[in-house]
């Protein structure tokens, strides 16, 4: 295990380096720079923009900037955010908790629901329930996630929704939050989390369910499932302990893949629900050409992907004895 | 004596796009307590489906469309509720399968899989179940059972996997053991060991056994009585001895001729011309008639029924009616 | 698989019950102590990077900073950038001009103090001038302070501005661009570190609100100073919520999660707000106008004139062909107005009688055919000598109003046989192409301050390289602008500017599309609601909540 983790660490470093370099170079190929937008709405003179560029070191040749960046990166310095005038690490760090909370909640919904629905479908193929669920999962899978979010707002948000019981946007109630009891604060945050997590989670669950259904179908035809029945075990035990336990294995791979997917889906959900997360920061920074933030976020995303895949691999090892005992 | 199992007019059909296939067509037999009944046939004869039908393990789109399977206490297995059926499966009637590697759950240990059978049918603590599992592993001849109990199937050889299956099947002292080609997937040397083990245990536990096989050699060594199946029907049914000494049905005779014999070396092995028909296209009347060396006009017109040739000897062939009362 | 140990039903029930009870007893007692309450939640996109004024360059950034930092004086209700009598004292309580009018001395109000209690002094003003002129700080307003030679503190409560020359907007330049900064807190910080200093995110200012908190990505909260020297603010709390995009912000307003959205764009969004009984829409004057500017130069060879658009008759014909009233009515409803030139009606030089090119489609058609344009190949697009009358319009996707009006414009031009190819790019790409002048025409917008000088930045020859991206140049306009900016008599100045704008209009360097008014959405419980034309956020501190209509967040105690 130690060797495995060490290998992963080296891999992570290599990936971070490649991602940082690619992002750094590719992003700067886009037209414009942090100060180009100033042509719109305000009459910033060329002199102003030139001075601004000089102040930020953007007038230097690209390779100089690149090596400076790498040198800083090695020391753990991700540079300064042009838009927020503070270290990128701080900028990203301020937003990560919100994204993690949303992603974790969404993952929970995604996998709990997806596995359950998919397993049920796999065990009852051809039934009316299976057909209905297939239509439902396909629809949810195809529907744009931001549309789904907006529909939820129209259904459930206070004042604007049909069943106005949940907040429409944000991670906590503006102004009132600080004056709630600790219990009230926790509850407030949970209430705000429900709609965005459901949106992101349902969209993912649809995909997971389809995957799980296929895996379940594969497994349920296997001989050992028949053996389990022949032993007189309850059908529930046959489905869960024998069939699903094996059908989960491919779905574990999905888990590792969902980290980056969550990041991208989270952006849209973050916009619709005005969630103070990393996704929006990255989009806003990309539009503002805040090179350091975007590169920093790309690095963070790369690290998350590595972590996600590592967790998936470890889970696989835990769950599948054939893999575990090979090493 | 009350039969351990009484199968009457069992018909299992599959709904396919080519029509309904009657993989098991009006099959009837008795299984007496303590006896080993062999069911013999080539692939496609319906023997495996017959075995699966007993415990209602046939998957959709197959279903038992007719018949009764009555066990010794008088319960008709075909009509039991799921709950009642579960109580029979693994406890009163147990089954072992052909491919032990795929018939065991790869993510559970051998011990767990044996123990869960125990815990499904008896109130027994986890520890006690585990201990019993170790005992059973010892019983089926697995060396070092207290270590092996925590092994996963992929860590065991084919022979050991089958022993684990046997241990699982015997764990609740079943009255009937159904063995579907238990040695087909194993090495020849292991085959003999397993067969010996099974017969020993059968004696020990006082079980009746149904042994499905295509191998006449096994039939000769292990079974008391035999039913030969062809085209979803039983075409001959008698004691093992009589089958080998006085086979009545042309199919049986052809099978016996096809077995290579040490004392009669030949240049070419005998085969049965033609191929086994699919269940969706049984030939009319006698299903064997297109391949029968003793074909008569009647055979393609009237379907023969099981007739008694001598005591405890049934065969499904018009030859027997030609010369009523006489042999062969 | 291990079985989950499930809690017994009783324990489930008690946990749920506890949660429910807990959530009821959620907040402390709310009441309006002393009859002074109210929380105004404003939402805008574009979270400011900093709350220090010199680093702000979008109006959405400075709106928040201005609640914390005040100027020496403000423009009065009649927005003029000339003279000084109509200006309102703020941090300064009075001022005097020197005899030669080259120096203005401000007397600082002795009651004005920083949020940490330190009094505001002349040194603060002098320090602020240093900061604004510093190249490292690179404040956007730096060039506007060019004609101020020096700012020196006379004593603790007096500060003198010495000018390079006499000109009509001396006072305006002295007070309008700079928000006074605390010398005692920022003096010792190296200029290069100022931008990222802690104080930037936890500012200490002079305004009616103190800084309370800033949750990145969510909101910033300001708390009113009940002993503020210029009077107690009407509300107790001002929360600035950082929104994402227009539909979400409209949803937030409709859900009463925020109280104020400026502006509400798009007729369907305005309708949505109108439908809620607890919300009001107001049409207020705005200082922004949108226009489509033509490139006088060839984007492929900036030294040569544009093959199509350098032709005056063509530009005039195009301007005549567009019924802007219809477009504005369709996109903005009744609130919209068509500008009479590169300015909005709030500007003090505005004159209702400014001459513009009228809408006359027939005249446009005949002018075009006189020029030799005809539809030879029958494809609906005019051509002449093998050249099609087709060109591109560069614009961003981010403005709903611009998107919609562009489509209408395209249709209208099609009616006279002109093909407009809309090229939508993202903000930064747009800016970079505008800067490099690689476009045929672009859809832009300007925010003006009260000084007509902002017209000069865009539409004079001197503006080429700054705001004059189309490279429009008319020496007569240049001359008149120079004259007008030095003329002291306001009426004469007004006349000159009218003339200037009419010349610009006749040159048709751009089509003035819409501007001058926006629709604002606000919760109906607020009173005393006014929105100054040039800076809509300036009077927020005077808003009040009608006592009978308090909602929860109005009653949050001041702790």
3-state secondary structure of C364: helix
Tell me the two tokens of residue A6.
């060490």
- Give dist(CA C104, CA C145) in Å, integer: 14
Q: Measured between CB atoms, which of A40, A83, A153 is closest to C427?
A: A40
Residue A7 has pLDDT above 90, yes or no: no
Query: Are C215 and A241 inside 8 Å of each other by CB?
Result: no
Residue C418 has pLDDT above 90, yes or no: yes
CA C215 to chain centre: 24
Do C186 and C134 contact (CB within 8 A), yes or no? Answer: no
Q: Looking at the complex, does the CB of residue B117 fall below 8 Å from at least one CB of chain A?
A: yes
Query: What is the share, in percent, of chain A residues with pLDDT greater than 70?
Result: 96
Task: Spell B72-98 as b/e; 16+ CB within 10 A means b.
Answer: beebebbebeeeebbbbbbbbbbbbbb
Query: At CA A114, angle to CA A113 and CA A118, rounded to 5?
Result: 120
Q: Looking at the complex, does the CB of residue A48 fall below 8 Å from at least one CB of chain C?
A: yes
Q: What is the DSSP code (8-state) at residue C525?
A: T
Domain ranges of chain A: 92-277
Give the residue among C373, C371, C374, C344 at the shortest CA–CA distance from C501: C344
C76 Cβ contact partners less than 8 Å away, ≥ 6 residues apart: C86, C87, C88
- Give dist(CA A225, CA A123) in Å, integer: 11
Query: Are A224 and B87 inside 8 Å of each other by CB?
Result: no
- Give dist(CA B222, CA C474) in Å, integer: 114
Q: Looking at the complex, does the CB of residue B316 fall below 8 Å from at least one CB of chain A?
A: no
Predicted confidence at residue C402, as pLDDT, reads: 93
Using pLDDT thresholds of 50, 70 and 90, give the confidence band for residue C90: very high
Q: What is the dihedral of CA C183, C187, C191, C195, to 10 degrees?
A: -60
End-to-end CA, chain B: 30
Predicted confidence at residue C110, as pLDDT, reads: 95
Give the residue among A207, A57, A224 at the shortest CA–CA distance from A136: A207
Go through the domains of chain C in sequence order and give each one's CATH number.
12-68+207-284+518-555 (3.40.190.10), 73-186 (3.90.76.10), 288-516 (3.10.105.10)
Please list every residue in chain C whose beta carbon sits closer than 8 Å to the beta carbon of residue A289.
Answer: 428
Residue A260 has pLDDT above 80, yes or no: no
Q: What is the dihedral of CA A93, A94, A96, A101, to 10 degrees?
A: 140
pLDDT tens digits, A307-316: 888 888 888 8
Query: What is the share, in percent, of chain C residues with pLDDT greater than 70?
Result: 94
Q: Measured between CB atoms, which of A229, A232, A242 is closest to B105?
A: A242
Residue matched to tokens 């100027």: C71
- Give dist(CA C54, CA C129) in Å, integer: 10
- Give dist(CA B181, CA B253) in Å, integer: 22
Predicted confidence at residue C198, as pLDDT, reads: 79
Query: Are A179 and C243 inside 8 Å of each other by CB?
Result: no
B242 Cβ contact partners less than 8 Å away, ≥ 6 residues apart: B310, B312, B313
Tell me the two tokens of residue A186.
């926790």
Q: Looking at the complex, does the CB of residue A29 fall below 8 Å from at least one CB of chain B?
A: no
Question: Which CATH number is A92-277 given?
Answer: 1.10.3720.10
Predicted confidence at residue C3, as pLDDT, reads: 43
Interval C227-247 mean pLDDT: 92
Predicted confidence at residue C14, as pLDDT, reads: 61
Closest approach of chain A CAs to the CA of B148, in angstroms?
15
Residue C28 has pLDDT above 80, yes or no: no
Residue A124 has pLDDT above 60, yes or no: yes
Q: Within 10 A of C86 (CB to CB), how many other CB atoms are there?
A: 13
Higher pLDDT pick, C12 / B304: B304
Q: What is the DSSP code (8-state) at residue B242?
A: H
Residue C57 has pLDDT above 80, yes or no: no
Residue matched to tokens 């996998």: A111
3-state SS record for C132-195: HHCCCCCCCCHHHHCCEEEEEEEECCEEEEEECCCCCCHHHHHHHCCCCCCHHHHCCCCHHHHC
Using pLDDT thresholds of 50, 70 and 90, give the confidence band for residue C20: low
Higher pLDDT pick, B115 / A47: B115
Tell me the two tokens of residue C39.
């929380």
Q: Name chain A's partners: 3 or more CB pairs within 8 A.
A: B, C
pLDDT tens digits, B26-64: 899 999 999 999 999 888 888 999 999 999 999 888 888
Query: Are A226 and B108 inside 8 Å of each other by CB?
Result: no
3-state secondary structure of C356: coil
> What does DSSP say about strands B93-96 and B176-180: parallel, antiparallel, or unpaired?
parallel
Q: Measured between CB atoms, which of B86, B152, B155 is closest to A232?
A: B86
Tell me the two tokens of residue B122.
């008896």
Q: Which of residues 247-306 of A touch C (CB under 8 A)?
A: 270-274, 276-277, 280-281, 284, 287-289
Residue C9 has pLDDT above 60, yes or no: no
Using pLDDT thresholds of 50, 70 and 90, give the confidence band for residue A61: confident
ipTM score assigned to the predicted complex: 0.87
Residues of chain A by 3-state class (helix, strand, coil), percent to 5: 75, 0, 20
**Count of H-run helices and E-run strands, chain A:** 13, 2
Average per-residue pLDDT in chain C? 89
Pairs of residues, one from chain A and one from chain C, whose beta carbons lie less than 8 Å apart: 213
Burial class (CB in 10 A: 0-12, 13-18, 19+), C60: middle
Do C394 and C425 contact (CB within 8 A), yes or no? Answer: yes
Using pLDDT thresholds of 50, 70 and 90, give the confidence band for residue C503: very high
pLDDT tens digits, C282-338: 999 888 899 999 999 999 998 999 999 999 999 999 999 999 999 999 999 888 889
Q: Give how far Cα B101 sits from Cα of A46, A319, B110, B157, B164, Å.
A: 76, 19, 12, 9, 10
Q: What is the pTM of this model?
A: 0.83
C161 Cβ contact partners less than 8 Å away, ≥ 6 residues apart: C103, C104, C105, C106, C148, C150, C151, C170, C174
- Closest-CA residue of chain B to A247: B107
Q: Identify the weakest region by mean pLDDT among B125-139, C9-23, C192-206.
A: C9-23
Residue B328 has pLDDT above 50, yes or no: no
Q: Give how far Cα C482 sits from Cα of A184, A289, B69, C402, C487, Å.
A: 63, 37, 111, 32, 9
- Give dist(CA C484, CA C492) in Å, integer: 8
Q: Within 10 A of C9 (CB to CB), how many other CB atoms are there?
A: 8
Do C163 and C170 contact (CB within 8 A), yes or no? Answer: yes
End-to-end CA, chain C: 53
């Amino acid at each position: 295990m130690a060797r495995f983790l060490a290998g992963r660490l080296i891999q992570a470093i290599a990936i971070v380096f490649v991602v940082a370099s690619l992002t750094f170079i590719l992003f700067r190929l886009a037209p414009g720079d942090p100060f180009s937008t100033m042509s719109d709405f305000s009459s910033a003179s060329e002199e102003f923009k030139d001075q601004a560029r000089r102040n930020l070191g953007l007038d230097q040749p690209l390779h100089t900037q690149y090596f400076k960046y790498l040198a800083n990166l090695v020391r753990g310095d991700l540079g300064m955010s042009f838009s927020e005038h503070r270290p990128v690490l701080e900028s990203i760090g301020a937003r990560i908790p919100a994204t993690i909370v949303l992603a974790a909640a969404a993952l929970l919904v995604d996998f709990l629901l997806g596995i359950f629905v998919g397993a049920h479908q796999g065990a009852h193929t051809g039934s009316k329930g299976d057909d209905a669920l297939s239509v439902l999962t396909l629809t949810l899978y195809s529907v744009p996630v931001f549309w789904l979010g907006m529909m939820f707002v129209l259904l459930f948000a206070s004042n604007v929704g049909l069943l106005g019981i949940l907040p429409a946007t944000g991670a906590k109630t503006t102004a009132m939050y600080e004056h709630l009891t600790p219990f009230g604060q926790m509850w407030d945050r949970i209430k705000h989390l429900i709609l965005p997590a459901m949106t992101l989670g349902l969209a993912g669950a649809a995909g997971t369910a389809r995957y799980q259904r296929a895996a379940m179908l594969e497994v349920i035809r296997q001989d050992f499932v028949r053996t389990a029945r022949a032993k007189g075990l309850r059908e529930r035990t046959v489905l869960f302990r024998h069939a699903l336990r094996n059908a989960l294995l491919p779905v574990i791979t999905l888990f590792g893949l969902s980290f980056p997917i969550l990041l991208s889906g989270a952006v849209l959900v973050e916009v619709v629900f005005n969630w103070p997360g990393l996704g929006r920061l990255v989009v806003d920074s990309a539009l503002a050409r805040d090179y350091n933030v975007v590169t920093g976020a790309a690095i963070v995303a790369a690290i998350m992907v590595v972590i996600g895949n590592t967790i998936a691999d470890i889970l696989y090892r835990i769950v599948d004895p054939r893999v575990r005992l090979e090493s | 004596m009350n039969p351990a199992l009484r199968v009457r007019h069992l018909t299992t059909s599959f709904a396919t796009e080519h029509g309904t296939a009657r993989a098991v067509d009006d099959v009837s037999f008795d299984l007496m307590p303590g006896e080993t009944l062999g069911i013999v046939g080539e692939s496609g004869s319906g023997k495996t489906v017959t075995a699966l039908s007993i415990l209602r393990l046939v998957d959709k789109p197959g279903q038992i469309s007719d018949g009764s399977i009555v066990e010794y206490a008088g319960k008709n297995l075909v009509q039991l509720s799921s709950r009642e059926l579960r109580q029979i499966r693994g406890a009163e009637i147990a089954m072992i399968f052909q491919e032990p590697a795929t018939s065991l759950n790869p993510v559970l240990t051998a011990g767990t899989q044996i123990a869960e059978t125990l815990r499904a049918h008896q109130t027994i603590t986890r520890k006690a179940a585990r201990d019993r599992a170790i005992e059973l592993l010892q019983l089926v001849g697995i060396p070092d059972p207290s270590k092996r109990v925590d092994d996963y199937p992929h860590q065991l050889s084919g022979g050991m996997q089958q022993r684990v299956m046997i241990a699982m099947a015997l764990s609740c002292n079943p009255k009937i053991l159904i063995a579907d080609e238990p040695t087909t997937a194993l090495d020849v040397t292991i085959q003999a060991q397993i067969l010996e083990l099974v017969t020993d245990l059968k004696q020990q536990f006082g079980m009746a056994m149904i042994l499905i096989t295509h191998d006449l050699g096994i039939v000769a060594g292990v079974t008391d009585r035999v039913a030969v199946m062809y085209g979803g029907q039983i075409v001959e049914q008698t004691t093992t001895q009589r089958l080998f000494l006085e086979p009545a049905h042309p199919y049986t005779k052809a099978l016996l001729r096809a077995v290579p014999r040490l004392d009669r070396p030949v240049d070419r092995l005998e085969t049965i011309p033609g191929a086994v028909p699919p269940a969706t296209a049984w030939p009319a009347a006698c299903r064997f008639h297109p391949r029968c060396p003793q074909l008569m006009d009647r055979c393609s017109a009237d379907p023969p029924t099981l007739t008694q040739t001598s005591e405890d000897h049934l065969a499904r062939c018009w030859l027997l009616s030609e010369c009523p009362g006489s042999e062969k | 698989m291990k079985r989950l140990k499930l809690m017994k039903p009783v324990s489930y029930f008690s946990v749920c019950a506890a949660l429910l009870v807990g959530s009821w007893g959620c907040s402390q007692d709310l009441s309006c102590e002393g009859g002074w309450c109210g929380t105004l939640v404003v939402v805008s996109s574009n979270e400011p990077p900093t709350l220090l004024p010199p680093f702000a360059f979008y109006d959405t950034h400075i709106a928040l900073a201005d609640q914390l930092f005040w100027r020496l004086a403000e423009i009065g209700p009649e927005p003029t950038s000339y003279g000084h009598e109509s200006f309102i004292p703020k941090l300064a309580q009075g001022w005097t001009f020197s005899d030669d009018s080259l120096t203005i001395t401000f007397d600082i109000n002795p009651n004005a103090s920083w949020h940490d209690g330190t009094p505001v002094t002349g040194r603060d003003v002098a320090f602020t001038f240093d900061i604004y002129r510093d190249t490292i700080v690179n404040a956007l307003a730096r060039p506007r302070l060019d004609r101020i030679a020096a700012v020196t503190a006379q004593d603790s409560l007096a500060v003198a501005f010495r000018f390079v020359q006499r000109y009509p907007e001396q006072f305006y330049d002295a007070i309008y661009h700079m928000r006074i900064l605390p010398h005692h807190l920022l003096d010792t910080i190296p200029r290069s570190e100022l931008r990222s200093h802690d104080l930037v995110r936890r500012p200490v200012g002079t305004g009616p609100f103190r800084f309370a908190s800033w949750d990145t990505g969510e909101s910033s909260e300001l708390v009113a100073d009940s002993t503020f020297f210029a009077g107690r603010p009407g509300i107790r709390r001002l929360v600035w919520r950082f929104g994402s995009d227009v539909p979400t912000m409209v949803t937030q307003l409709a859900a009463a999660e925020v109280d104020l959205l400026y502006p509400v764009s798009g007729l369907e969004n305005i309708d949505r707000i109108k439908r809620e009984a607890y919300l009001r829409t107001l049409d207020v004057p705005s200082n922004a106008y949108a226009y489509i500017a033509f490139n006088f130069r060839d984007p492929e060879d900036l030294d040569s004139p544009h093959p199509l658009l350098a032709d005056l008759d063509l530009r005039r014909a195009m301007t005549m062909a567009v019924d802007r009233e219809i477009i504005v009515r369709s996109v903005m409803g009744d609130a919209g107005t068509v500008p009479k030139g590169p300015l909005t009606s709030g500007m003090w030089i505005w004159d209702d009688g400014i001459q513009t090119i009228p809408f006359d489609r027939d005249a446009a058609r005949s002018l075009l055919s006189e020029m030799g344009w005809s539809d030879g190949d029958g494809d609906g697009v005019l051509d002449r000598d093998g050249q099609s009358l087709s060109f591109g319009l560069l614009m961003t996707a981010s403005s709903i109003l611009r998107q919609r009006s562009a489509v209408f414009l395209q249709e209208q031009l099609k009616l006279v046989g002109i093909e407009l190819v809309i090229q939508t790019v993202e903000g930064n790409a747009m800016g970079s192409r505008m800067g490099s002048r690689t476009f045929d025409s672009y859809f832009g917008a300007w925010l003006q301050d009260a000084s007509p000088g902002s017209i000069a930045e865009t539409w004079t020859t001197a503006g080429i390289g700054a705001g004059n991206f189309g490279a429009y140049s008319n020496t007569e306009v240049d001359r008149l602008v120079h004259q007008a900016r030095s003329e002291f008599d306001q009426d004469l100045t007004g006349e000159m500017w009218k003339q200037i704008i009419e010349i610009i209009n006749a040159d048709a360097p751009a089509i003035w599309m819409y501007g001058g008014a926006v629709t604002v959405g606000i919760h109906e419980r607020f009173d005393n609601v006014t929105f100054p034309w040039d800076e809509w956020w300036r009077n927020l501190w005077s808003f009040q909540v009608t006592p009978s209509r308090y909602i929860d967040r109005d009653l949050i105690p001041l702790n």
